[in-house]
Amino acid sequence: MQAAVLAHFPPHIHPLTLASDPDGVLTDEEVLTALAERGFKLVNESDPIHLRHRVEQARPWSTERPLIVVTAGLLDQLPYDLWQQGHHVTLALHTFFPDLAYPVVRALTPAQRWRLSQAPPPPRRLGQRATVEFLLCYVFAADFDALWQPAQLIAWLDQYHQQTDPMPSVLADSLLAHLRKAPAYADWLLDELLASRDAFTTFVREQWRAYVQQQTGELLKEEPVRYVLDFETDHALQDALPCLMRSGTLEPVSVDQPDRLPNWARPAVLAPDEDHRPRRAAELLEILLESLDTPLADARWEQWQAIVRAWAELTALRYDPDNPLSSAQQKECQRLQSRLDAAFLTWLRQRYAPLGSQRLPTPHHIHHVPHYIAYQRRQGWTDRVALLILDGMALADWTLIGPAWRARHPDWRFEKHLLLAQVPTITAVSRQALVSGLRPADFAATLDTNRAEPGQWAAFWAGEGLPADACPHVRLALDRDEPSSEVDSARTRALCLTDNKIDDMVHDATLGSTDFYASLHVWLEEYGRRVEKVIAGLLARGFTVYLTSDHGHVEARGLGQPSEGLTVDTRGKRARIYSDRRAATNVQEGFPQTILWSQDSLLPDDVWVLMPQGRSAFATFNETVVTHGGPTLDEMVVPLVTITQTSEVCQTSEVSPREQDDG
């Protein structure tokens, strides 16, 4: 498919190409990256004013710097001067998959279409039902016959929930209809298990606890559980246990007498005084080392997300103030960190800008977030929306916050995406992009301040037809004040809340990341509960809450501080911004262990960013700081968590601890 798409865009031929792309063919990251390598710049704006602004920014275009203007509509609906000058291309999804039912294929996300493009073509033209079965088989690896076996279904769901995009409803409905015919699943909440990773994880953990409770006679939890997974006799389910542990779906449970369980069950149980964290760290190290054995420079974002999730979990274990890793594991983390930083930077240089143009249906950059929220609102999936920004929250932080909130609020449902922050990952740039829905190039005049955010938030929603008083921007300081009255106003439809507490903790962590995570544990029990109260109030008033961050943070070591006087526009420990290339290169000559970043199609063309390589900082030599601004995994990848409230409660039937055998 990629070759067929690229054939429409030969390099160095047409200065301006107009592409009608109603099916989003050009949203695939492989295609976007290949076009960028050919020198093309893409502009895709539905708003005519924004379109004109972006086109004028891209001038002058030429055969060496060609421009593609993408529209979902007809080409003759574009401005006449562009229509007259441009080379015309029309892309249609059915021409790339002619033997499959077009409406079904169109429901796939770009990542799913890419997997489809790797599959063998069908031997004949398929109707809608046959297309659904074909896609379930080749895109989602769903074997109808095999999935009638509970062990196979559990293993398949475990793999499925590691993918980043959900299955389209037309495919999910067909799969669920087939599974409901299986007598073994009569008591299973199949809809929830397929729709929610949290529901699936909870189900597997409760089933394992029920089995262990039944085998040992120990009461592990007061709430009764419907025991439907036959761990005792299903050997395939027993064989799946290591994979469930490795993926993090299953966690070991602590029992007084683990020797009462068979050998195959031992990896998923702990003795009363045993700590599972060293074992989990070893698993994560193994997963990450295996990932580095694959070519990551050309990896898709989906593959990197799996790496990022494992690294975030390992980071939280690494800096646990109460139970630090062994010195051997700490050294292995250090070696792994250097390799991951280098691999991610290589990948980021190639994919960061192309992914920046892929806004919907799945966001990739944080400046896509307002557009994603507005898209969900236009689809009728929600009406009142609240964007809650926990400034400075890294993905590793969320691996601690998320489980705590899930345990306290079983009626909250969490859906998580991973996003790329803006380069440089400093608050003035990255949070402003997040609030405004704009690239930094579109707010060049305020690149060094966040003062414009309230107006930018209101301006975005004005484009969606909301008046200014329906979309307030509120700064939280919950240790001093209650949220303002705008949070409770019945007129509010699109609310933006920003909270700086975690970012303040980052900059106050003078003893390194372990110091920060000690503060985060306190935050969870004190300030974090106030944040939970705000979220609970919003959910009760019918809001959908979108929780995210503008950047993460790293522990870095000082390499010295430049003395460039007035030639620098913004001074940061992990990034310095210049509007003069010569000034930036002069500083780089004195600090050769740095990266000069510019002209990435997102920053203004006359801005240069100097960032220390790896985990160094513009700080006193050898000083340890916790900070942000650079391009590492920890700083660049942040969660976007959609929080909704559900009234559904899983039905259970009791499983009592059996009498312990005397012999």
Same domain, yes or no: 502 and 443:
yes
Mean pLDDT of 649-661: 37
Residue 356 lies in a domain: no
Residue 355 lies in a domain: no
Sheet holding 494-499, edge to edge: 412-420, 637-645, 543-548, 384-390, 494-499, 473-476
Residue 261 lies in a domain: yes
Cβ-contact 325, 285 below 8 angstroms = no
Same domain, yes or no: 171 and 62:
no
Same domain, yes or no: 543 and 411:
yes
Mean pLDDT of 605-614: 95
Residue 655 reports pLDDT greater than 50: no
- Nearest residue to 312 via CA among 632, 78, 63: 632
Residue 658 confidence class, pLDDT cut points 50, 70, 90 = very low
Residue 661 confidence class, pLDDT cut points 50, 70, 90 = very low
Q: How far apart are CA 376 and CA 417, in angstroms?
A: 14
Interval 242-292: pLDDT, tens: 999 999 999 999 998 888 899 999 889 998 888 888 999 999 999 999 999
Domain ends where: 249, 274, 299? Answer: 274
Cβ-contact 536, 547 below 8 angstroms = no
Q: What is the pLDDT of residue 566?
A: 76
List helix spans (H) across 357-437: 369-378, 395-408, 427-436
Which region holds residue 10: left if phi is over 0, alpha if psi is between -120 and 50, else beta?
beta
Q: What is the pLDDT of residue 225?
A: 67
Sheet holding 576-578, edge to edge: 570-571, 576-578, 608-612, 594-598
Q: What is the pLDDT of residue 311?
A: 97
Instruction: Give, rounded to a whole angstrom, the gap between the first and last alpha carbons of the chain.
Output: 65
Same domain, yes or no: 623 and 639:
no
Q: What angle do CA 119, 101, 161 make, to 5 degrees?
A: 55
Sort strands 41-43 and 253-254 into parallel, antiparallel or unpaired.
unpaired
Interval 331-389: pLDDT, tens: 999 999 999 999 999 999 999 999 998 888 889 999 999 999 999 999 999 999 999 99
Q: What is the number of structural domains in the chain?
A: 5
Interval 327-344: pLDDT, tens: 999 999 999 999 999 999
Domain ends where: 274, 290, 313? Answer: 274
Q: What angle do CA 88, 94, 95 make, to 5 degrees?
A: 55
Same domain, yes or no: 8 and 89:
yes
Instruction: State how far Cα 29 lies from the chain centre.
Output: 15
Residue 62 reports pLDDT greater than 90: yes
Based on C-alpha coordinates, what's the Rg of the chain?
26
Same domain, yes or no: 323 and 374:
no
Residue 102 lies in a domain: no
Handedness of CA 347, 352, 358, 359 (dihedral sign): positive
Structural domain for 24, as ranges:
2-95
Amino acid at 545: V
Q: What is the pLDDT of residue 357?
A: 86
Same domain, yes or no: 396 and 254:
no
Cβ-contact 369, 363 below 8 angstroms = yes
Q: What does the block give as tokens for 515?
A: 């110091």
Interval 461-514: pLDDT, tens: 999 999 999 999 999 999 998 888 888 899 999 999 999 999 999 999 999 999
Instruction: State how far Cα 452 lies from the chain centre.
Output: 26
Amino acid at 399: T
Cβ-contact 281, 314 below 8 angstroms = yes
Q: How far apart are CA 107 and CA 124, in angstroms?
A: 21
Sort strands 67-71 and 41-43 into parallel, antiparallel or unpaired.
parallel
Residue 59 lies in a domain: yes
Contacts with 413 (C-beta within 8 Å, 6 or more apart), sequence order? 196, 198, 643, 644, 645, 646
Amino acid at 521: H
Q: What does the block give as tokens for 397?
A: 């932080």
Q: How far apart are CA 455 and CA 461, in angstroms?
A: 10
Handedness of CA 411, 417, 418, 421 (dihedral sign): negative
Residue 235 confidence class, pLDDT cut points 50, 70, 90 = very high
Q: How far apart are CA 453 and CA 450, in angstroms?
A: 6
Same domain, yes or no: 441 and 529:
yes
Q: How far is CA 459 from CA 43, 310, 625, in A?
A: 21, 38, 37
Residue 109 lies in a domain: no
Interval 528-546: pLDDT, tens: 999 999 999 999 999 999 9
Q: What is the pLDDT of residue 263?
A: 92
3-state secondary structure of 139: coil
Same domain, yes or no: 387 and 493:
yes
Residue 193 confidence class, pLDDT cut points 50, 70, 90 = very high
pTM of the model: 0.91
Q: How far apart are CA 516 and CA 505, in angstroms?
A: 6
Interval 163-176: pLDDT, tens: 988 999 999 999 99
Domain ends where: 214, 247, 274? Answer: 274
Q: What is the pLDDT of residue 221?
A: 66
Q: What is the pLDDT of residue 289?
A: 95
Same domain, yes or no: 409 and 378:
yes
Q: What is the pLDDT of residue 222?
A: 61
Residue 110 lies in a domain: no
3-state secondary structure of 639: strand
Cβ-contact 204, 167 below 8 angstroms = no
Q: Which residues pair with 547 in a beta bridge?
A: 388, 641
Q: How far apart are CA 93 and CA 508, in angstroms?
A: 52
Mean pLDDT of 3-15: 94
Residue 649 reports pLDDT greater than 70: no
Q: How far apart are CA 579 and CA 284, in angstroms?
A: 42
Q: What is the pLDDT of residue 67?
A: 95
Percent of the chain predicted with pLDDT > 90? 82
Q: What angle do CA 154, 157, 160 make, to 5 degrees?
A: 155
Q: How far apart are CA 432 and CA 129, in angstroms?
A: 46
Same domain, yes or no: 180 and 310:
no
Long-range CB pairs of 257-263 (<8 Å, 24+ gap) are 257/216, 257/218, 260/215, 260/216, 261/212, 261/215, 261/216
Residue 220 confidence class, pLDDT cut points 50, 70, 90 = low
3-state secondary structure of 115: helix
Interval 63-117: pLDDT, tens: 999 999 999 999 999 999 999 999 999 999 999 999 999 999 999 999 999 999 9
Percent of the chain predicted with pLDDT > 70? 96
- Nearest residue to 507 via CA among 630, 334, 624: 624
Q: How far is CA 428 from CA 214, 424, 432, in A?
A: 55, 9, 6
Q: What is the pLDDT of residue 659?
A: 35
478 CB-contact burial (10 Å; exposed 0-12 / middle 13-18 / buried 19+): middle
Interval 544-558: pLDDT, tens: 999 999 999 999 999
Q: What is the pLDDT of residue 432?
A: 97
Same domain, yes or no: 249 and 294:
no
Q: Is the peptide bond before 361 cis (omega within 30 degrees of 0)?
A: yes
Q: Which residues pair with 269 in a beta bridge?
A: 253
Q: How far is CA 420 from CA 42, 362, 368, 550, in A?
A: 19, 12, 10, 9
Residue 132 lies in a domain: no
